[in-house]
Each structure stands twice: as C-alpha cells, then as structure tokens.
Structure 1
C-alpha cells in the first residue's frame, strides 16, 4: 500500500521503508468504480458521521510487535473506509514509541479523476466519562493514487499505558474517526469543492451528519498469544506456467485454520498497468456467518525464490467477514523484480506463491 500493513514476523526482504514498499493491503478490486459524487449526494443511508473502534485485549496486540492492524470496513457518506492502527511507531532520532492511526478509503475506489475532499477528527476516548478526549483534526484529498491519511504520532505509548490512564482501561482502548465534511468533484474542480464545502448549507452535499445514535461501532477481541485459536498454517501454490495465467487467476481452494481460502493473482497488476504483480487472499465465507461477525487474521503472502532463501514476503493483520472476504496487495512486487533471473522468483516460467494464515481474534459490528 503506498502505506504499509505489516506484522512483526512478516517484514519484506527488499530493504525498503515500510511506507515505500507496500501498495495497499486492501479489499480485492471490484470491476465497477464508485460514482462518488452521485453516491455522496443521493445516498439514503442514515447521516452517520462517526466510527468507533473498541480494541479489547490491547496488550495482546502490543505483544505481537510493530505492525498495522485493520478495522472492519465501514460505510459512511456513500463511501467505504477503514481505520488502521500501529501501536509502535517511532520518529527519527526519538526512541519514544507512539500510537499511529490512519484512515483509508476502501474498495470500490472512486472513479479515476475524482477527488474526495474530507475533513475528519481522529479520536481516543476517555473511558472514565465515555467522551472523546484526544482529538486530531485532519484534512485530506482522497483519490485513487492517495487513499490514506492519518497521524503518525497520535499519542505516546507510555502515556496510553500509564496506571492512571483514562484511555487504556481493563486492557481495552477505544479509538474512532468523526467526519466533519465529505465532498467530491473531478480533480480539476478541487477549488470548487473547497468553496462549496465552506459555504453550502446542503448537508447531502458536504456530508455533515448529526445523528450520533446511527453511528457505526466495532469491538475487536485480540487473543493472547498463548491462547491463539490456531497456530499459523501454510499453503503453497505451484504455478507451472506464469505466462499462461489469465488476469485474474485463482489457486485451487485450500483449507487452513478451519477456514477455506484461495489466492488470486493478477499477473500484470489489478490495474492492468503492466508494472506490478498483484496478489490477494480470499476466504470462502460460510453461509452461516453473520454479516456483523468477522475474524482477525494474521496474513503473510510470499513469492518464494527457487534459488535462494530471499523470499518476497508481505504481511498484515486484517479482518475477514461476509462483506470483506478478500484482502491483499495491489503492488506486491514490480514485474521487473519478479522476472529478474537473479532473484529466482520466476524460473522457466515456474513460480511458487505461499500463503500463511493464523486466526488471532474476532470482531463484532454494531
């Protein structure tokens, strides 16, 4: 993801920075792009403004090390979003660890050439009184090439963990995002968006909402490492002829950790730009799964080198549910690096893709 979703054990082998190597651990692409301006102006959904994310078992998340954990996908003002949290971010020259919180626009993406200008607040809730206490206001122009915005150092981790903390209570922490305004226009009309959002009283256009009772909330339960539901399990997909693959192509179905899965590959990128190879992991969702229930999965996807131990491996902690059943990387590796003989990823048209899965928690939406 121009931004990263990385778990402690799933670091890449390329020596690049986290912010530079990942091109979105995201829901798998939809063939239909959202007509954003119409969605924002005509949606009949309740005027929700706030997503509240309760993380129960926060110390277990810390024990898993540095890395991004993703919320469930939520729908506000005609668009799909999710939050992602990294509780162990450091600044250059500063040994202090901070909690980072970011907002990302999920699939389906806005149409090419469309800009969504959003103003919103990141929140950490004061659990002694139930009100938000720490607020960080952010404005960002979301578009296909810029889908993430956030605060890299929202609060020091030591402050969060203090015995007198009002933020971390009974091993539970509550984060959130509150939307102030959301508006869309073609990218060459950005100035018009700003003027309209500032002056218009049309709430359907600027996306202002007031009904707190209609807001969306999720509770995420993170398992202790010693009580993890299932140890990580691995599947290898051996591809005999990469050049015969269609875009997209799916692996045979396989079972890991009591769930059925498949890998999806886009040989020339999910955007068909011919520069990157895209990989996604999909869960075959059982019909008995309630739409409000989800599983927190620690995912690692690798392209294995057939000549060295230097595999290309990217990872993340993502939530799979009935409405978010596929996640992955749209820029997993450049085709130039993938085809470079010295890397050993593609040998005589053969390659091997590995998926590693572990169930580390569960969630419920309200």
Structure 2
C-alpha cells in the first residue's frame, strides 16, 4: 500500500514497498564505519538513465544545513552528474524513486516524489528525512543486516517532445465574400479550380466538378471549398469556418442554389462542400438561369471562427 508522507522536504512523497528490483543498485558494506571514518557524505558512481548521467548522494548522519547540524534521519539525494558537459541553461524534468532493500522481507522500501526540475542552479533533489536512523539501524527491521544496506534508484525523464496545441477563437465581425465567373462553362473539363484567395488570414480556393465527383458522377455538379493552408502549412492543424457556396441564378434576382454551414477543416479534411450540389440537368437547363450565355457565377462567403496550431 502506498502512503502519502511528508519527509520534511518541500513536497510530500509516496512511500510504498515493492518486490521488483530497481534499475540501479548501490550496496554499502560496514555501514557503521562511515561515521567512524568521518564520512558524512558519499556519492555513488555514475549511472545512466534516459540519456543522462546521475548519481546518488547519501548522508549517513543526515544532511547538515545552515539551520541544522544534522537530523535523526538518513538523507538521500539524486543528482545530475557531468553537468559541465551539458549545454548552458540546461534543464531536466524528471520523476524519480529512491529505494532501500529489506533483507527480512526480500522487498524494497520505495520513496517517490513529484516531478522535479533539475537545472544548473539546482542539480540535485531528494529526501532529507529518507528514513529514521533508529529504524535503519535496528536489525529486526531488515534494512541493515550484517552491517550491510542496499540503496537503489530509478529515474524517468519527461522529454518535451509531445504535441503542443493552441486553440485561437476569433471574434467575427464581417464575413468575406467573393464571386467567380466561369466563362465557357461547357468547355470546362472534369474539374475547375478558382484562383487562391485570402479570408480570415487564411488562403482558400474553390473546386467544381461540372459532371460530378464520386458517386455523383454524371448526376450532379459537385463544389468544394479547400483550405490551402491545411494542404501546405504543417503548423496549422484545424480551422473552423462558417461558409456558404452559392451558384447565382442570373435570371431571377436573389434566387440561387447554396450549400455550407459551420464546419471544422483539418489536415484529414482539407476540402468541404457538397458532391450533390445541384443536379446536372438543372445546372445545364438554360431556363433555370444557373448557366447563361455559357457562363455561371459562383459566390463564396466565409467567416473564420477558430484556428488550431
């Protein structure tokens, strides 16, 4: 069972027991002789974890501070090693556990804190009150047997390689409108593209399939609005836009066929519109007014509402 405990440091820690051996072990024989030989601080050999070099620092009589000459606890710290080889203003964010082997129960005492920021001004973190001296030195507790104790460490570095996302919501005041006239409509091939245009600080273009696309081939005219930015710019992930596409009726003022709404454009859906925009028979019927003198007029209206980068 894990226990939340305050060890006297800045942060509370999780104390638990574990059967699994830690990644790195450090054995001390004749532990009692450390004090007799005046060794108040011992640094372990370096070990590597997550592409960084580390070392354990053990204070058998507790870590002395400006306000304390020591404590009744053993202090254990983890430090970044070989800092001189790291770049200027280096920083490592890591969560780590420090272990103490229990010979009696064949398991480990584990003390784990929250994520800590190691950097050039603070290259070590740990626990000033890792375990009470009285508890450690009592052989019946199993931590110090035949004057031998075994410490361990595990380090997990949090690397900042994850996806970073920023949602920007925009206050829409006016929508962008533009018309495109397609002359010689009967001579357009399978697809027509408009020139690129800018709306809401983003680039767009229209595409029309006069003879339909996909399942609407030879049945309906298909029209789509494309986000040029999403096709080309990897920094832009999604764009939410309210848009309408209209084919103007040139015989009846104010009457036209339209499609659109509020939608999310994304890198997986760079084009949105309608494959069944208007039946081909209606589009090509001169009495309907959508094609007059072999020309049609397409109007697009866009207001960008949000972007994700």
Q: Normalising to structure 1: TM-score of the pair? A: 0.36
Larger radius of gyration: 2
TM-score (norm 2): 0.42
Q: Which has the higher helix share?
A: 1
Higher relative contact order (CA 8 A, sep 6+): 1
